[in-house]
Amino acid sequence: MKLKPLTVTQQEGHTKNSETVFYMDPLKILLLIPVCLPLDIYTNTYERSLVCRNEDEWSALEGEGFCIVPAFELDMSAKSLCVWTHNNTEIAQSVRAQVHQNGSMLCFLPISPNDSGIYTYICAGECALGADVKAYEAHFLGSEMLMFSEIRMHSQNPPIPCPEQAYLMCEEGNGQLTWFKNFQLIPGQNGKVLRLINAQKSDEGLYTCLCTWKHFGQTFNISASRNFMVEEVSVLHSPVIRLPINRSTVPAQLGSSVQLECRVFCGINVMSQCSIFWERNNSRINKSNGYTERTTRNDKGSESVFSTVLYISSVTQQDLHTHFRCMAMNGMEWNSVTIYLKVEECFFFTLILRCAYVLLVCLLVTMAAKYFAIDLALFLRGTQQEEDGKLYDAYVIYQPDSVHDETVSGFLFSTLPTVLEKQCGFKLFIHSRDSLPGEDLAKQVEEHIHLSRRLMIILTSSPYRVQKTTTQPTVGYDWHMVLHSVLVQGAVGMVLVQVGRMRDYAHLPLGVQYLLKQTELLRWEPRERSASSPHSRFWKRVRYMMPPPPPRPITTCI
């Protein structure tokens, strides 16, 4: 009788790949049969335990039809000398048993967690194959413990082979093979190798091949899963130090700890081809006393960024006079940056300075806003756009007896119209200048007040006329109309202008005295150098209280 030589292949497992190598000399087998074969090979129980040098791990899910097929082949006469055992007990050979051996195969139909354990394939009294079988409950579906080796590729059409545990059963039992991705059926795929066309990131996931086969009319499933990852193309770049900035300083306190971080970009999908470390005074820091260095890799998308942090447990005076240099190098180039430690100022003192600075800035901004508020309002205020039926921007009223004063007369008939009318574009109605001789005074005053947008009251130190029957000052009809329009009707805005200085306001009518308490008084000083300049504070305040000027060319009043 001639035995077929054994062929040795690599058996694929779940959690680790092991290689079982078994050499048998056919002549040795022939000699062992009549001479050395122990009697207990033909019995169901073995008195001594055979230990295999290598045991492959086999994993399956509860309820699956699972078979172990040895990776080597024996001819029929040699197979008759081999048996499967478990706990020194021969496995039954009845093909209808739940756990049985069928030729060289060991089958679990179906497998259950109670079937977990060490199974030994014994040929001629020696261990030919050891199998560590682990059966997991159904809720372990998709667990890493049931995964075969992960596939990482960056080829255009990567193949995903079905593990032998599944596709061999389809070959032995004439079963049907189907493929799943993340437990979703992939239509039209039933080969033992699944090929992904133009694989992309979206193709990553868990791929499972499922073999459905029958045994004496009963249908069984056996599955095998593995992860697929698209491996990005690695591109090495010259190291770029993103942090820290060269020749920058880091605040520190004597006796306190500090961390110095160096962050380097080394390329795209670079795993370990970049080296970064810290130097102290041109000497590499290698676990010196008080200095600890830790390097990590932090990817940002496809960018490979390496980081090393230098921990200084206690800053000394010597550290303040030391330059620390971060070195980064790879196969293309090397780069470095240097930083220094600087004593940090007192936090409380710094806080006080910052608060004082903020308060000073706020104070200056407030003062500037208050001082230039009128300028800003005049700058942003537009011109009069809508037609309101008014002819005059202001109706100017004054005490007639005051025109005998040269200062008052000059202001009324020279300075006021020159600045507001000629330079700023306003239109004023000044009594006795714009009134017609012989015109009815009552009608004229009433009509022109209603045609004006503002009432400008000129106050002087001249005494008002006093009637013989009373000690209270009285005024003319125009004053009565003005006070009635302002105090009673409230229909017209008012501008109060004082010419020169006054000791008090007792000589003014009671209505005017009341208005002084309600309205800002603008004082014009004839002795000031800017008395006739439209850019003086006085005239800016007058313009601010006046209505927007009509859209006409303005040259000097800006």
In the 3-class helix/strand/coil scheme, how is 41-57 assigned residue by residue? HHCCECCCCCCCCCEEE
Q: Which of 50, 67, 59, 127 is nearest to 101 (CA)?
A: 67
pLDDT band at 9 (very low <50, low <70, confident <90, very high): very low
CA dist., res. 277 & res. 328, Å (int) = 7
Same domain, 421 and 541: yes
CA dist., res. 554 & res. 384, Å (int) = 13
Same domain, 326 and 357: no
Whole-number average pLDDT of the chain: 79
For residues 274-293, give the mean pLDDT. 83
pLDDT band at 447 (very low <50, low <70, confident <90, very high): confident
CA dist., res. 60 & res. 37, Å (int) = 35
Does residue 75 fall inside a structural domain?
yes
Same domain, 128 and 53: yes
Does residue 493 fall inside a structural domain?
yes
Q: Which of 17, 9, 66 is nearest to 210 (CA)?
A: 66
Does residue 536 fall inside a structural domain?
yes
Same domain, 128 and 201: no
Mean pLDDT: which of 152-156, 302-306, 418-422 is highest?
418-422
pLDDT band at 398 (very low <50, low <70, confident <90, very high): confident
Does residue 521 fall inside a structural domain?
yes
For the chain, the domain total comes to: 5
Report residue 441: phi and psi, to 5°. Answer: -65, -45
For residues 341-365, give the mean pLDDT. 83
pTM for the whole thing? 0.40
Domain limit, last residue, from 328, 357, 378: 378
Does residue 281 fall inside a structural domain?
yes
For residues 24-47, give the mean pLDDT. 37
Same domain, 432 and 537: yes
Does residue 9 fall inside a structural domain?
no
Same domain, 523 and 396: yes
CB 67 within 8 A of CB 106: yes
Mean pLDDT: which of 8-17, 116-125, 178-187 is highest?
178-187
CB 42 within 8 A of CB 19: no
pLDDT of residue 193: 92
174 vs 114, more confident: 114
pLDDT band at 107 (very low <50, low <70, confident <90, very high): very high
Same domain, 354 and 405: no
Report residue 285: phi and psi, to 5°. Answer: -85, 115
pLDDT band at 465 (very low <50, low <70, confident <90, very high): low
pLDDT band at 74 (very low <50, low <70, confident <90, very high): low
Q: Look up the domain containing 364 and give its range.
A: 347-378
Does residue 1 fall inside a structural domain?
no
Same domain, 539 and 390: yes
**CATH value at residue 190:** 2.60.40.10
Same domain, 131 and 256: no
For residues 37-63, give the mean pLDDT. 61
**CATH value at residue 406:** 3.40.50.10140
Q: Which of the residue ranges 90-104, 176-190, 268-282, 412-426 would you say has the lowest mean pLDDT?
A: 268-282
Domain limit, last residue, from 140, 162, 197: 140
CA dist., res. 136 & res. 143, Å (int) = 10
**491-517, pLDDT tens digit by residue?**
678 888 988 888 878 778 788 888 888
CA 433 to chain centre: 73
Same domain, 52 and 153: no
In degrees to the nearest 10, what's the CA dihedral of 341, 343, 345, 346?
Answer: 120
Same domain, 302 and 214: no
Same domain, 247 and 320: yes
Does residue 5 fall inside a structural domain?
no
